[in-house]
Amino acid sequence: MKQTPATFPEAAEFRFELARWSIFAILILTYILVYFHRMAPGVVSEFLMADFNISGTRLGALSAIYFAIYALMQIPSGVIADTLGTRTSIIFGNLTAGLGSILFGMATGFEMACAGRFLVGLGVSVVFISIMKNNSVWFHEKVFGIMSGLTLFFGNLGAVMAAGPLAQVLTVFHWRTVFLGIGVLSLGLALAGFLLVRNKPEDMGFIPPNTHTGQFQTQNRHWLTNLKDVVMTLRVWPGFWVQLGMIGSSYAFMGLWGMPYLRDVHGLSRSFAAHHMTVQLLSFALGALFWGWISDKTGRRKPFLLWAAAAYVLSWFLLTYLSWTPGITGFILFSFMGFSASGFVITFAAAKEIVHPQLSGMGVSVVNTGCFIGTALAQPLLGYIADLTWDGTTTNGVRIYSAADYHNGFIAMILFSILALAAATRVKETYCRNTFKG
């Protein structure tokens, strides 16, 4: 007989809570590694440029491979999450990413490093959508916004680990050793996923926290038909463009070019530069939690997304044109930049609340694709623009760019952020409830 925490004794409620939070914990540990892989190239950039003898454009391409395959896999990830379920995604995602990280750590040349980075991107590409799907079936829809924020908060701890802490670890361990260790950890999480993760409460004898009735049953339709319905829902797409502009430019800076910029233009050591990136990443993590919470609390999505997008545009203008200095001023600026960028988390809830509840994985995946297409474009674009005016200066085989080189690239990032703000004006207000009508 199925059990539900609302109608059965405390023991049953405890088992339900233990089950869903244990599953969530495994998924979150996996997601922490997703963010580590996403942001780590910025900290090890000088080692990569020196070991593989590559330019800024090729460095950007090496980092962007992760985002390119991630972007290509987002819609397939949504299909997998909605058909095969979270368990399959997490097991095979961790296996693939683990092998890719080990290959990256063992790379003897640029091509081998690219292959490792490709496998990492392929493996981790299914993780976030799986977590969103898990959140939509194991938790009540009224807390989806805060669960999205909580997910991104913990995920960004991996990004924080890839900043200051990684910079300190690199004083003791070789960068290759770090990636080999992360690869082994991913393989361990694949085993944990096999043993503990289940797709939905019904698989463990519980009644789901959400019950929905619609004008058609998605289970009886081919997944291609369901995907077509989601893709053809025009109200989903503004969130895609918000993420392309907002997170594409943000990850280009936080995940790759922020560290070199602070080193080249402001003369900071790796450690002190990493402190600035850590502040930005922590603000991004806390901001994701805040925007998800305030949106759920007030029952509104769009106003907060607009405020965050507008603040993010302002942050790029301040970074590019304000005469600021590292230290307290820099920490405040980077904190503001990270906090405002994290408002993009609202687009996930808005997307889920527009499509059929059983197709939440596909809905979120369409929006999330914009994030990684944007980053795959922005990271090499910034490097390419810097290479155009580079004066040939190198240190230990690493290209050193001038303030003007970075300034030209930042103008492109400003345009990305303006695109995000324009798209945010087109996002539909759902008032934190599913608006699908069939």
Q: Are 280 and 257 in contact (CB under 8 A)?
A: no
Amino acid 9: pLDDT: 63
54-109: pLDDT as tens digits: 888 888 888 888 888 888 888 888 888 888 888 999 999 999 999 999 999 999 99
Q: Is residue 188 part of a domain?
A: yes
Domain range enclosing 67:
10-201+223-424
Q: Is residue 429 part of a domain?
A: no
Q: Is residue 434 part of a domain?
A: no
The 3-state secondary structure of 41-70 reads: HHHCHHHHHHHHCCCHHHHHHHHHHHHHHH
Three-class DSSP category at 428: coil
- Residue 376 CA to residue 234 CA, distance in Å, equals 24
Q: Is residue 24 part of a domain?
A: yes
Average pLDDT, the chain: 88
- Residue 280 CA to residue 265 CA, distance in Å, equals 18
Amino acid 219: pLDDT: 57
Q: Does the pLDDT value for residue 246 go beyond 90?
A: yes
- Residue 300 in tokens: 């509104």
The total number of residues shown for the chain amounts to 438
Q: Are 80 and 131 in contact (CB under 8 A)?
A: no
Amino acid 216: pLDDT: 46
Q: Does the pLDDT value for residue 249 go beyond 70?
A: yes
Mean pLDDT, residues 291-299 taken together: 89
Q: Is residue 248 part of a domain?
A: yes
Q: Is residue 346 part of a domain?
A: yes
- Residue 232 CA to residue 236 CA, distance in Å, equals 9
End-to-end CA distance of the chain: 32
CATH number, domain of 43, equals 1.20.1250.20
Q: Are 359 and 230 in contact (CB under 8 A)?
A: yes
189-199: pLDDT as tens digits: 999 999 998 98
Q: Is residue 212 part of a domain?
A: no
Amino acid 1: pLDDT: 46
Q: Are 313 and 421 in contact (CB under 8 A)?
A: yes
338-383: pLDDT as tens digits: 999 999 999 988 888 888 877 777 888 889 889 888 988 998 999 9
Q: How many domains does the chain have?
A: 1
